[in-house]
Amino acid sequence: MTRVICVIGGKGGVGKTTITSNLASALADFGQKVIAVDTNLTTPNLGLHFGVHLAPFTLHDILKGKSKLKDSIYIHPNGVNVLPASMSIDDLEGVDVSRLHEITFSLKGKYDFILLDGAAGLGREAVSGIMAADEILIVTNPDLPSVADALKTIKLAERLGKKIIGVVVNRIRGKDYELTKEEVEEMTGYPVIAMIPEDKNVSKAIFSKTPVVNYSPNSPAALEIKKLACSLLGIPFVERRVPRGFLLFEKLIRWALRK
């Protein structure tokens, strides 16, 4: 059975796209067939994370009836299928965001996981992403504004009858002024199922257009995202360190491909 999960959080900049791209990649590493869909139609970034930001056909084209679904799906070298949105402001005209549920319905049965990268805020895009999903994964940072906005998203998802899997606290720096896991759980009313540390490798991975779980699989953020994937799959996490020599070889290949 296909699980359709919207990764969302309310506030912009908390790392929803980073979690979406890397969670999709981690699930693929565990043998799952996964597609990541950018449902943020006004400020999309999922394509950047996977290196398909200049795709000839996108979700915008599908929603306009200018492209077929199969022509707008791209396969990343790590095995994740990606349905990017257009980064051109001109493509916003004539897009009916309420049709997102038609896309997920068409994809059901073809994948084990459909991950929707949700838009920030509580506008039509965010609401449509939530409505197109069956489950909701909340992403927040360990600060009051982020958690307050996450709580608004939670209340909206509850009103729409969606199952909330839990909360991912992202970009943890280990400072005294940050909210603790227990405080986030108390404020949101849901369990924190992942604690992702601030990690310089994430920025490096984005620059390389490769998710950090593939770019630097032994890094702190990558390991925690793999744990999150195992949690969704209901399997124990067993840390498997990737040999440094293999990582250097992979980076050399990526460097050559960029030339």
pLDDT at 244: 54
Which of 62-66, 114-118, 230-234 has the lowest average pLDDT? 62-66
Q: Would you say residue 184 has pLDDT above 80?
A: yes
Residue among 236, 234, 237, 167 nearest 3 (CA): 234
pLDDT band at 99 (very low <50, low <70, confident <90, very high): confident
Query: Quick one: what percent of the chain has pLDDT higher than 70?
Result: 93
- 130 vs 51: CA distance, rounded Å: 25
Question: At residue 243, does pLDDT exceed 80?
Answer: no
* Distance separating alpha carbons of residues 205 and 207, to the nearest angstrom: 5
Residue 250 has a pLDDT of: 52
C-alpha pair distances (Å), 167 with each of 153, 160, 195: 11, 18, 9
**In the block, which residue shows the tokens 């990764």?**
7
Residue bearing the bigger pLDDT, 124 or 163? 163
- In this predicted structure, the answer to whether residue 91 has a pLDDT above a threshold of 70 is yes
Strands (E), the chain: 3-8, 34-38, 74-75, 81-83, 113-117, 135-140, 163-172, 192-197
| Mean of pLDDT values over 19-29 | 98
Check residue 114 and give its pLDDT.
98
State mean pLDDT over 141-155: 97
pLDDT score recorded for residue 53: 84
Task: Encode pLDDT of 217-233 as tens digits.
Answer: 999 999 999 999 999 99
Mean pLDDT score, 110-116: 98
Q: What confidence score (pLDDT) does residue 254 get?
A: 47
Per-residue model confidence as pLDDT tens digits over 246-256: 555 555 554 45
Question: Nearest Cα to 210, choosing from 246, 250, 259?
Answer: 250
| Nearest to 39, CA basis, from 102, 110, 112, 109 | 102
Both ends of the chain: CA-CA distance in Å? 41
DSSP letter at 173 equals -
- As a whole number of angstroms, the distance between CA 135 and CA 127 comes to 13
Structure tokens belonging to residue 93: 């005209």
> Which band of pLDDT confidence, cut at 50, 70 and 90, is reported for residue 258?
very low
Rounded to an integer, the average pLDDT of 106-124 is 95
pLDDT above 80 for 241: no
Pairing of strands 74-75, 81-83: antiparallel
Asked if 251 and 221 touch (Cβ cutoff 8 Å), the reply is no
Tell me the pTM: 0.91
Is 80 exceeded by the pLDDT of residue 165? Answer: yes
Number of neighbouring beta carbons within 10 Å of residue 215: 24
